[in-house]
A and B are shown apart, each in its own frame.
Chain A
Amino acid sequence: MSAAAASAMRILPAWMRSGRVIIGLLIVATVVACALFAPWLAPHDPEEQDLLAQLLPPFWQSGADPLYPLGTDALGRCVLSRLIWGARVAMTVAVIAAFGAMILGAILAHVAGYLGGAVDWTISRAVDVWMSFPPVVLSLILMTGLGAGVRNVILAIILVDWTRFCRVLRSEVLVIARKDYVAAARLVGFSHTRTLLREVLPATVPLLITLLSIEMAVAVIVEAILSYVGMSVEANIPAWGQMIADARREIHHAPWGLVLPILAILITVLGFNLLGDGLRRTLDVRLNQTREG
């Protein structure tokens, strides 16, 4: 690397210099761009059926139609367009559900870890009880109760996964709340709320971001599973899980219809996980200390 490039790298914060973070960010940004600009990016209307062009193969195979770069499905709908539109559902669920789970989990974790005592006991036991149900069972029960629909998928993910945030963050808050600087803030006249926001929260934010990114990957998978079984979006909205379900019947003579949405899910999840892992490695102060020390 040239000296100029090296000095340019030094200006960037540490987390921007990690290879994992950069690759993760690139993947996530691509998927998000697809979701945001789907109407302009997609070559076709995802629901437009061309019954004369059913089950066309993708462009690298013989018999492909340049109009449909990734081929068509059994109803002659453009796979590429459906994949691009499918990113919309995936990203909507990923972002809203992950933020929702984070907000619920983080608030309870901070209150429990900071106040301790009976509050901590109650919240921690609630998490224990919650976590004793297998997440798949719990989400299926919830979906049965709530009924199908994207909104309910989001709600189910929030209600199942807030415990992840709560348990991990609580132990972090517990460590920070015992620091003398937190006591010192109280002694100079900070209210409990201000102490939590100004002294404790800044120290837990790196962990929060990392968990958030991993939770988004989880949400993408959960949404795919639920749309595969038809519990998520209605049939007229393209979603990756739904595409897999649709392509099942033609698995032998048109495997690409199945493989492509799976790849989309896989790459998106990989992107979030790389981002989360990279952030954890660069933002976690304790990890940095052990590496340098």
Chain B
Amino acid sequence: MSLLVARGLTVSATIAGKTVQALRELDFALAPGRMMGLVGESGAGKSMIGRTIAQVLPPGFRVSGGSLTFDGRDLVTMDARSRRDLLGKDIAFIPQEPLSALNPVFTIGQQIDEHLARLGVCDRGERRERALAMFDAVHLPHGADLLTKYPHQLSGGMCQRVLIAMAFASRPRLVVADEPTTALDVTIQARIVQLIREMQEKSGTAVVFITHDLKLAAQICDEILVLYAGRPVERGPARTVFASPTHPYTRCLQLANPNLSGPRRALHSLPEQMPGLLGQLALDGCRFAPRCPLVEDACRRAEPPTVVTGADHAAACLRAASTASIAAPAIGTVPAGTGSGGPLVTVDAVTKRYALGGGFLSSRRHFDAVKGVSLAIARNEFVGVVGESGSGKSTLAKLIVGLETPTAGSIVMGGRDVTDGSRLARQARLDTVQMVFQDPQSALNPRRRVASIVTQAMEAGARATTWDERLARARELLREIGLPPETATRYPSQLSGGQRQRVNIARALCTTPKVLVADEIVSGLDVSVQAQLLNLLLRLRDEFGFSMLFISHDLSVVRYLCSRVLVMWRGEVVETGPTETVFANPQHPYTRMLLAAVPPDDPAAAWNPLDEVERLTA
């Protein structure tokens, strides 16, 4: 008997007078104690399922067809009172943003107490006992102290553990986890995911695990459902779906993700992007048809039926049989930089110290964000910097481009030290480096047109440039980065996330810098968009020739792009060397921990990220 069953579930809304479907004909059955991964890119409709279960659909959206039942009771037509009795008790949620899910003005203790009281634990002392036992179950040490803390005093990972503890407190029969690790570091992600799995096994709960990471889902879930533009395109046992996908979209997703072991493969990058709610209306046939490498005329005429492709394995595709033919060839290792003419940028024993609070008369404490870091970037070399948040990666980037001044050490560009703040130093920097920022939303002035943004450097020059000159240069740059020329007169708000990040890159390339400093530039993007951008960077290097300091928390992306890597931990470089050597044979325990935190490329392989964490903290 299945616990959660969707039969032809359709969620629609009316936008601009047209009826659009955010979820279309969704079918699945989740048995008790099983874990189902809902995989898809942003906008695929995965969060809509969690919202349908709780009946908190965004304004204008409604369930327009099919049914969703929990233990035989229809969740859609159920009255609010019975639903309220189910939620938080039989059905619990683990949210995406742990910090915003906790109330900042109450202590953790007060919030857990309230939750337990709602669950019917009447005795105050018993609630406290229960809370401490819950902390124990999610491996949170010093439970008694934690009860008196406020959410902002805890890290994101700790908040998420508190929320997991609360979600499992009632021994629910169903837990919906909506991207529970997206806002967290990789090493913490591994722990959180394993914790959810552990709690699920302990209490026999069924879990709907919503994620964009196919590899992660394959590793921890029992079954997977892949969504594309609101339509389920493939479902089946987790490992089978990952090892031998039968829908071209799943296959492309898998090939768009760089691997961390084995030979380096070219990334399969899908053209364009997933159609939005209104864009889907223009498609009569398969919604994936415009981007599908196997598309044929029949795909565009009618929506493909779901075909069974194996045991419990089905895909909505006419060409499911030939999906395996989509392949990405192995390519050699990343070419190292060309050493001629010495390094372009030399960072020597640079330290950045920040004063921390400290009051009147009391001694000031300080904190070294970057401690004695040295590195050199050769011509045409892509150097990766990896580490968790707080490891000093971003501060290092700011020091190099000149947004921060080092406390000690030197940075040499074009033969001179550029840390003295002089006019000449600024010029030497302008001639050598440019930065690509992480968040294109914040990095692009919403009041400027794209052409004005990408040619901003021409505005700063001594010679006045005409708008026509700038427009011409902008068109040239847009062509290079693969955007249509009419984008030039648009505003950033009219572009998609991936397009904005391209504009961001184009601005940095306008003055043809020798070195690009890129801070987490693909981290907020979907896998298929990420693959497009990574391939774009490699192509641009072949065309223009530039070096790059590529900062990322994603080791597999660094392996795909960089010939050399620096591992940063607490402001220091703990390991450095050729990427392949470092990743194949890590020496420092921190590097080993980072590597272990990434789900293995083979879902059948054992994944024990916690062992390495314990070794490091021991």
Contacts and interface: CB of A to CB of B under 8 A. Distances in A.
A194 interface: yes
Contacts, number: 53
Nearest to B398: A183
A52 B445 CA distance: 68
A187 B397 CA distance: 12
Interface residues of B, number: 24
Contact of B434 (A180, A181, A188, A198): A188
Nearest to A205: B447
Interface string A177-199: 00111011111111100100011
Contacts of A134: none
Given A187-B401, A187-B434, A188-B507, A180 B443 contact: yes
B437 A184 contact: yes
Contact of A184 (B430, B443, B447): B443
A190 B437 contact: no
Interface in A186-217: 186-191, 194, 198-199, 202-203
Interface residues of A, number: 18
Contact of A189 (B401, B430, B438, B445): B430
Contacts of B331: none
Given A180-B439, A181-B443, A203-B447, A188 B403 contact: no
Please indicate which of the listed interface residues B434, B438, B445 has the most CB atoms of chain A within 10 Å of its own CB: B445
Interface in B431-447: 434-435, 437-439, 442-447
B465 to A, nearest CB: 13
B216 interface: no
A209 to B, nearest CB: 15
Contact of A188 (B438, B442, B444, B456): B456
Nearest to B460: A189
A32 B434 CA distance: 51
Given A187-B401, A188-B507, A181 B442 contact: yes
A199 B511 CA distance: 19
Contacts of B511: 188
A140 B42 CA distance: 61
A175 to B, nearest CB: 11
A271 B371 CA distance: 60
A191 B427 CA distance: 12
Interface string B382-426: 000000000000000000011100000000000000000000001
B515 to A, nearest CB: 12
A244 to B, nearest CB: 45
Nearest to A198: B459
Given A180-B439, A194-B460, A187 B402 contact: yes
Contacts of A179: 442-443, 445
A187 B435 contact: yes
B3 interface: no
A5 B320 CA distance: 54
A206 to B, nearest CB: 10
Interface in B147-189: none
A188 B447 contact: no
B461 interface: yes
Nearest to A190: B460
A169 B327 CA distance: 56
Given A188-B430, A188-B507, 15 more contacts: A180-B438, A180-B443, A181-B442, A183-B437, A184-B435, A184-B437, A184-B507, A186-B403, A187-B401, A187-B403, A187-B430, A188-B511, A189-B426, A190-B459, A194-B460
8 contacts: A179-B445, A180-B438, A183-B435, A185-B456, A188-B510, A189-B426, A189-B460, A285-B446
* 9 smallest beta-carbon distances between A and B, as pairs: A189-B460, A180-B443, A188-B457, A180-B437, A181-B445, A180-B442, A190-B460, A179-B442, A189-B430
